[in-house]
Amino acid sequence: GAGVSQSPSNKVTEKGKDVELRCDPISGHTALYWYRQSLGQGLEFLIYFQGNSAPDKSGLPSDRFSAERTGGSVSTLTIQRTQQEDSAVYLCASSLHGTEAQYFGPGTRLLVL
Amino acid sequence: QKEVEQNSGPLSVPEGAIASLNCTYSDRGSQSFFWYRQYSGKSPELIMFIYSNGDKEDGRFTAQLNKASQYVSLLIRDSQPSDSATYLCAVNKFGQNFVFGPGTRLSVLP
């Protein structure tokens, strides 16, 4: 079946602009995760959605970052007033019920000029 | 104390040797354990998962779990240059978020 998809695959924006990154999880997966990975670094957890529960937003680095998940499926990560330090790969993953393995999408490479 | 720890490497092994990757975790209540491989410029891909103490084998890969010692390892037999990547350990407790380690970079030398 189809895996996790993300769009766009690459995004170049100017400092101060807002960007929206999209994630389509594997069908039927109730858990969805966003991570950020800077060049040569490990995974930085951002936010975790599990079913209808309140999301775990503990990893969001600032109030410029927000995410929503509509209808328990597609998720959008929004970064407002982008800064150069936001440049990274943004990875989305999904898990069947949040206890089984996570499966990652291909990522969105964000470059803020 | 970091929740999940791994040696950053690089770990270098000759082709055909056994590569041993180690991971320790701090939460004794952790219940499921995962190994991911990440090639440069790519996203992580699942290699194996293990839930019970002992060994679990899948082809050239063996995961080993020791909950008493809070230790999980991944052995790669007959290492190939194509195994050169960063290996991420992840730990999960039911109902809670996954915690990933920083990863170990493996280099298999031809």
Nearest to B105 by CA among B4, B6, B5, B8: B8
Kindly determine whether residue B100 and residue A42, on different chains, have CB atoms separated by under 8 Å: yes
pLDDT digits (tens, 9 = 90+) for A87-111: 999 999 999 988 889 999 999 999 9
Distance CA B99, CA A45 (A): 8
Nearest to A101 among B46, B88, B100 (CB): B46
User: Does pLDDT of B1 surpass 60?
Assistant: no
Nearest to A44 by CA among B21, B90, B73, B102: B102
Show which residues on chain A lie within 8 Å of chain B, measured between beta carbons: 33, 42-43, 45, 48, 56, 89, 91, 95, 98-107
Residue B64 has what pLDDT? 97
Q: Do A56 and B97 lie within an 8 Å CB cutoff? A: yes
pLDDT recorded at residue A88 = 98
For residues A46 and B68, give the distance between their C-alpha atoms in angstroms, rounded to a whole number: 30
Residue A86 phi/psi, 5° resolution? Answer: -80, -10
Phi/psi-derived region of residue A7, left when phi > 0, alpha when psi is between -120 and 50, beta in every other case: beta
How close A69 gets to chain B, by Cα (Å)?
Answer: 17
Per-residue CA distances from A65 to A40, A74, B36, B57 (Å): 22, 17, 27, 41
| Cβ-nearest to B100 among A43, A56, A100 | A43
Q: Which of B3, B5, B88, B98 to mutate to test the interface with A (most CBs of A within 10 A)?
A: B98
Q: What is the mean pLDDT of residues B29-34?
A: 93
Q: If you compute the radius of gyration of chain A from its CA atoms, what whole number of angstroms results?
A: 13
Instruction: Judge contact between A42 and B36, C-beta under 8 A.
Output: no
Q: Hey, how many other C-beta atoms are within 10 angstroms of the C-beta on A57?
A: 13
Would you call B32 and A103 a contact, using CB atoms and an 8 Å cutoff? Answer: no
pLDDT, position B18: 97
Higher per-residue pLDDT: B7 or B69 = B69
Q: What is the tens place of the pLDDT at every residue in A25-75?
A: 999 999 999 999 999 899 999 999 998 889 999 999 999 999 999 887 999
Quote the mean pLDDT of chain B.
Answer: 94
User: For residue A33, how far is the Cα from the chain centroid?
Assistant: 6
CB-nearest partner of A45 from B42, B88, B97 = B97
Predicted pLDDT at B93: 86
pLDDT (average), residues B35-56: 96
**Is the minimum CB–CB distance between B103 and chain A shorter than 8 Å?**
yes
Give the pair of three-digit tokens for residue B91.
């730990």
